[in-house]
Amino acid sequence: MEITTKRIYDDPDNDGARVLVDRLWPRGVSKEEAQLDAWIKEVAPSDELRTWYDHDPDRWTEFKERYVSELKEKDDAVGRVLDVAKDDQLTLLYAATDRERNNAVVLREYLESQID
């Protein structure tokens, strides 16, 4: 299975299964525009972690560690993300402007470690 990440504001294009992995619905995007297969907000970072991180690059390393710890406690939600894709391509969608440091990047790495 190929797992990619993409901003929800980018046009859908050969994305396979599209799963929004943010806790909050992204501003300015309609459900029709999003073309989602699923919105699994339970797999997103906790409100406490998300607020603490606040997309501060200096907190990235600790955010990753804390988020992975949370993911280990969310087996059902993580499994639901993988079930949406089956053996197909999976695109994890997020709203953050930073394409390299966001929850979808961490989740992709975590999922890849679970399926290898």
Alpha carbon distance 107, 41 (integer Å): 12
| pLDDT value at residue 86 | 75
| pLDDT value at residue 28 | 96
Surface-to-core class of residue 20, CB atoms within 10 Å of its CB (0-12 exposed, 13-18 middle, 19+ buried)? buried
- Joined tokens for residue 96: 């953050």
| pLDDT value at residue 101 | 97
Residues of the chain with pLDDT under 70: 116
pTM for the whole thing? 0.94
